Amino acid sequence: MIPAQFDYRRPTSLDDALTALDGGDAKVLAGGMSLLPLMKLRLASPGTLVDIGRLTELRGAGSTRDGGFKIGALTTYAEALEATPLGFAADCIRGIGDVQVRNRGTVGGAIAHADPASDLPALALALDYDVVLRSKRGERVVPIDGFLQGAFTSDIAADEILTELRRGPLPAGAQGSYQKMEHPASGYSIVGVCAVVARSGGSVTHARVALTGVGEVAYRAKAVEAALLGSDGSAAAVAAAAEHAADGQTVNDDIHASRDYRTRMAVVYTRRAIEAALAGPA
């Protein structure tokens, strides 16, 4: 289909982009991997497209002085793949879309879009990222656990632009894993699980477990985390914790996986992700 008529603006700076968004019926265009298909289907019909794709100030990724990591919103998947120091993050990114999508799709666009089956939100949740938002009113920083509010719904106002993701350093000895049951055609997650864990003195001292593809939006499985913390990380402890993978969620039920099957796969892939993280790099 052909999109509805719209105006087009291509600002040359972030300030210009924020001005263009102030008080109008406008949508931000970054990589276009999510917005343009919606426009073609007329599920989105913005009056104005504000193309920020050439704002170099929003690109780049790297470590921070405190040992954390930051990544600009316009950094592509391919650029993020090159920049990440974490093997499990690289595993996650390699499984997103295809080469074309990874070369054009942006990290900020994926997070702001809040697709229920997107891989990147689960990775960001497990790594405790914060989302940096800018508008003419100023800047605010929102933990991603809370920023993602529902299917295609996030805590971003119409006049705001997501400019950066940032996190602090990982706990000492933390290891991670991303395990995914993907749709064979689209590559989207039917179930995707990211686990980041640390163990000290024979006990699990840090646990972040996030799932995508299961509920209406990516989420942290806090009941799993609570069951893991203080445990010995044994196979039995991990299996018991993983049983809580879908607690509190309205599990998706569609042509790709029934609710019962997806619930069970959430448990299976959560167990696999935690076990792989505890085992450390292969």
Low-confidence ranges of the chain (pLDDT < 50): none
pLDDT in tens, 164-221: 999 999 999 999 999 999 998 888 899 999 999 999 999 999 999 999 999 999 999 9
Report pLDDT for 126: 98
162: nearest Cα among 5, 6, 4, 34 = 34
| HSE (side-chain half, CA atoms, 13 Å) at 239 | 3
* The two structure tokens encoding residue 137: 């009113």
Q: Tokens representing 45?
A: 């019909």
- Give residue 282's pLDDT: 54
CA distances from 35 to 3, 71, 146, 213 (A): 11, 21, 22, 20
Report in angstroms the alpha-carbon separations of 98 from 50, 86, 264: 26, 21, 28
Q: What are phi and psi of 3, to 5 degrees?
A: -65, 155
pLDDT of the residue at 217? 96
Question: What DSSP string describes 123-162?
Answer: HHHHTT-EEEEEETTEEEEEEHHHHEEETTEES--TT-EE
Question: Which domains, from first to last, does the chain contain?
Answer: 7-51 (3.30.43.10), 175-279 (3.30.390.50)
Tokens standing for residue 201: 């003195």
Strands 69-72 and 61-63: antiparallel
The gap between the terminal CA atoms of the chain, to the nearest Å, is 47
Q: Which of 131, 159, 160 is nearest to 145 (CA)?
A: 131
Strand partners, 106: 76
